[in-house]
Amino acid sequence: MSTNSKTSQSANQGASARLKRILITEDSPVTQDILKLVLSTKGHEVHIAHNGKAALKMLLEEPFDLALMDYHLPDLSGAEVVAAFFKERRPDNEPIFIAMTADPDAFNATGTVRDAFVRVFAKPFDFNELLDFMGTLATGAHQPARARREEHAAGVAPSAPVNSPAPNASTADEEYEGTPDRVVSLRARPSGYEHNRPLFWPQDIGPAGFSLGARKHMASGGDYDMVVVSEPARVEDLRHLWSLGDLNLLPIIDETGHLGHKADVDLPKIPRGSAERIVQALVQEFAEARASVHLEVRQSDDLADKLLASLYVRSRKLMPEFSGASPRGFSYNVALTESEVRELTGRLETDRLIEKAFVDRLHGCPACNSVRLNVREECFECHSPNLEETAIIHHFKCAYQGPLQDFKHGSDLVCPKCARELRHFGVDYDKPGNVVSCLACGASSSDTAVGFKCLDCGVHTDGDVISTHDVFNYALTDKGRAFIEEGYIVTGATQNQLKFADLPLDLVIALNKAARDYTESARPFCLVTIGYPQRRIQLSEHGPRLVELSRRQLGENLKNYFGDAVTIRQGTDFDYLLIDRMAAENFRANIETYDEAAQSSLKIDLAPRFSVFGPGELFG
């Protein structure tokens, strides 16, 4: 055991005691998940903020010992959060700030605010380095702010990846310390993906989960843009893609051809020359689509949400493919098992996020569920398929009517009743129908039963009691698409719940004031959010400039309509309208009028969606 690892171990133990409460502000679901996982196992109480506003709110409300901040957030930058925090914090609230950034130069250009951070880690950073640094912080080396400059300057300088000498494998830290040969395996990846960051099966993600190298990469904020299956794998083997962050939204490139339509690219089926181009295009496509998935959905732990996002990113229906290879008879084009798909689609369909369409009806063995059945014509009595069909003969003269064999007399037909020979078809006799005789039990009938014999387990089932189940394909509904793009605000249960974290900061302040007035003097107000469910279509149809202009014009129109009583703020996904002295019911009652006023003289139809919240809904 090296001295290095000894110090870091003891330091880490101390860190969990001193740096009890940690806030991680990070928008990458993968980094979030893995940081939380690692730090929690080290005894820290880990909280997650998905964006800058949420981080600010949490920092102001509860004391944290350490704040680990991604510097590039979708709303506020790390610098803005810190600046706002120092303006409003209580004096005794003094967390240690650490920044993570993929762009250290931009960080250095932020001026004085950067002084608030004790250290900056350049993404992708070495995770052990972070842990070690947390250790030094815990041992009391918490320097005064002035002294921090040199410190972070050193950290920002792109330091060569530090691979500490191999520690003893028995320590708790082992899996994050990394052994040289694992690092080697990380580097000795199959080639051919020079422009990409592939996650390899089974090198990076194996049957037991993620490799050390992969964890390190992700924990330090590194991301992947595709999954490459380089050795035969089953769907179950890729289970881990669905349990960490939004890795399930990466394209799966199957080099083996074993996954079939469950992979996004079945490489053996693609002409060699075009593979590179196709993969690149797909990676690009997926990355763009992922960017349109609302952060809430990307961060969701719910497998149903993940499946929905997967359909969205892959822009395809959930389609069954029929094959006799499995007893089930079909599989869906997603890297989940069929029973998982059935359960998840049931839930999603109930919420009307997807809609199903009938594809086929399968008959299954009631004993083993296999659809590999032999369909047979059988005897109604004994279920033997050993049947023989013969004609019925009617002898007009004596009215005898019976199966052909009753009349067979060598090559002649002789009536068994009246012993006359039947000579003239249509005059002496005719054949009015058929009778099927069972050679096993002698029963006869004009018809046969249908029976099924399972080829897998041998169980026999009558045609009328065979179990059937219908196979559907599933497509995203408009609601499902809106949910992916706009998050939980769309779905039923959370329709009217508004997250304050989503609101622009000055609007939160205005809202607080309005709330105070409401409690003191019962002066009504309402907050209206304006969503744009058709945004993606509009963007592609009219271009971002016209959409942006129209949206601004819509705000102007409302401002003119309501006058001074209204505060309007434009957010990323939503616009917000705080109307003084108007109850939510009143707004709802006249919503059509307001909609018309808002959209007057607009060049394009924005199809805005208004959601109205009164004080009760906001604070009750």
Partner 1 sequence: MSDLTQALDYITAQSFESLMVLTAVVIIFEIPRYFGLFLLALLTPRPPGRSLESTYKHKVSVILAGHNERDSVRRCIASMREQSRPPDEIVVFSDGSTDGMEKVLRELLEAGEIDRALWSDLRGGKSAGFNICQRMASGDILINIDCDCSLDRDAFRRIVEPFEDPAVGSVAGNIQVRNAGSGLIATMQAIEYMITIALGKQGALAIDQVICSSGGYSAFRKSALESVGGCDAGGGEDLDVTMRLRARGWKIGFRVDSVCYTDVPDTFAGLVRQRFRWERDAVRLRYRKHRFNLNPFDPRFRINEVLHHLEYLIFNILAAAIMPFYLIWLFATYGAFAFVILLGLQVVLVLIDFPVFLLAAWLTPHVKAFRLIPYMFGFSVFNGFVMRFVRLAAYADEWVFQSSFQDSYVPQKVHDIRSN
Contacts with Zn ion by CB under 5 A lie at: 365, 367-368, 370, 379, 381-382, 384, 395, 398, 400, 415, 417-418, 438, 440-441, 443, 454, 456-457, 459
For every residue of 60-77, which 3-state class applies, written as one string? HHCCCCEEEEECCCCCCC
Q: Which of residues 431-460 bind partner 1 (CB under 8 A)?
A: 432-433, 435, 443-447, 449
Among 430, 456, 517, 617, binds partner 1 (CB under 8 A): 430
**Minimum CB distance to Zn ion smaller for 72 or for 372:** 372
Q: Does the protein bind partner 1 through residue 398 (CB under 8 A)?
A: yes
At its nearest, how many Å lie between partner 1 and the CB of residue 432? 3
Q: Using the rule CB under 8 A, is 426 a contact of partner 1? A: yes
71 vs 400, beta carbon nearer Zn ion? 400
Which of the choices partner 1, Zn ion, none does residue 444 contact, using the CB cut-off of 5 to 8 A by kind?
Answer: partner 1
**At its nearest, how many Å lie between partner 1 and the CB of residue 370?**
24
Nearer to partner 1, 154 or 418 (CB): 418
305: left (phi over 0), alpha (psi -120 to 50) or beta: alpha
Residue 445 partner contact from Zn ion, partner 1, none using kind-dependent CB cut-offs of 5 to 8 Å: partner 1
440 binds, among Zn ion, partner 1, none (CB under 5 to 8 A by kind): Zn ion
The residues in 458-517 that bind partner 1, with binding defined as CB under 8 A, are 463-464
Q: Does residue 375 touch partner 1 according to CB under 8 A?
A: no
Q: Is 552 in the site for partner 1 (CB under 8 A)?
A: no
Residue 366 near which of partner 1, Zn ion, none (CB within 5-8 Å, type-dependent):
none
386 with 377: CB under 8 angstroms? no
Cβ nearer to Zn ion, comparing 166 with 443: 443
Residue 368 interacting entry, from partner 1, Zn ion, none, C-beta within 5 to 8 Å by type:
Zn ion
Strands 226-229 and 320-322: unpaired
Place of tokens 């007009």: 396
Choosing from 270, 392, 414, 475, the residue that interacts with partner 1 (CB under 8 A) is: 392
For partner 1, the closer CB: 363 or 588: 363
DSSP character at residue 344: H
Q: Shortest approach of partner 1 to residue 415 CB, angstroms?
A: 10
Run of H or E residues at 578:
strand 575-580
What 319-326 contacts at long range (C-beta under 8 Å, 24+ apart), as own/partner pairs, is: 319/261, 319/359, 319/473, 320/359, 320/360, 320/471, 320/472, 320/473, 321/260, 321/261, 322/360, 324/372
Number of residues that bind partner 1 (CB under 8 A): 30
Assess whether the previous peptide bond of 124 is cis (omega < 30° from 0): yes
Question: Tokens at residue 60, please?
Answer: 């102001």
C-alpha 7: how far from its chain's center?
A: 41
State the sign of the Cα–Cα–Cα–Cα dihedral 167, 173, 174, 179: negative
Q: Which of 239, 356, 394, 453 binds partner 1 (CB under 8 A)?
A: 394
Which tokens go with 214? Answer: 């992969």
Rounded CA-CA distance 123/218 in Å is 10
CB–CB of 68/114 below 8 Å?
A: no
User: Smallest Cα–Cα separation from 489: which of 536, 534, 531?
Assistant: 531
Cβ 398 to partner 1 shortest distance, Å: 6
CA–CA distance, 533 with 272 (Å, rounded to integer): 41
> What is the CA 83 to chain-centroid distance, rounded?
35
Among 355, 428, 573, 617, binds partner 1 (CB under 8 A): 428
495 is in the binding site of which of Zn ion, partner 1, none (Cβ under 5 to 8 A by kind)? none
Indicate whether 417 belongs to the interface with partner 1 (CB under 8 A). yes
Between 426 and 563, name the residue whose CB sits nearer to partner 1.
Answer: 426
* Cβ pair 122, 93 in contact under 8 A: no
Identity of residue 15: A
Contact partner, 433, from partner 1, Zn ion, none, Cβ < 5-8 Å per class: partner 1
Residue by residue, DSSP assigns 484-541 as HHHGGGSSGGGTT---GGGS-HHHHHHHHHHHHHHHHH---EEEEEEE-TTHHHHHHH
Q: Which of 396, 405, 556, 572 forms a contact with partner 1 (CB under 8 A)?
A: 396
Pick the closer one to Zn ion by CB: 145 or 382.
382
Residue 418 as a binder of partner 1 (CB under 8 A): the answer is yes
Cα separation, 29 vs 499, whole angstroms:
19
* Residue among 26, 27, 246, 406 that touches partner 1 (CB under 8 A): 406
Binding piece for partner 1, criterion CB under 8 A, among 71-79, 218-226, 307-315, 428-436 = 428-436
For residue 388, state whether it binds partner 1 (rule: CB under 8 A).
no
Q: Residue 260, Cα to own-chain centre: how many angstroms?
A: 20
Instruction: Describe the chain by its helix, strand, coil percentages, rounded to 5.
Output: 40, 25, 35
441 binds, options partner 1, Zn ion, none, Cβ within 5 to 8 A by partner type: Zn ion
Determine the distance from the C-alpha atom of residue 147 to the mean position of all C-alpha atoms in its chain, rounded to a whole number.
Answer: 45
Contact with partner 1 (CB under 8 A) among 256, 280, 401, 611: 401
Q: Which is nearer to partner 1, 115 or 430 (CB)?
A: 430
457 binds, among Zn ion, partner 1, none (CB under 5 to 8 A by kind): Zn ion
Q: Tell me which of partner 1, Zn ion, none is bound by residue 384, counting a contact when its beta carbon lies within the kind-specific cut-off of 5 to 8 angstroms.
A: Zn ion
Binding site for partner 1 (CB under 8 A): 380-381, 392, 394, 396-403, 406, 417-418, 426-428, 430, 432-433, 435, 443-447, 449, 463-464
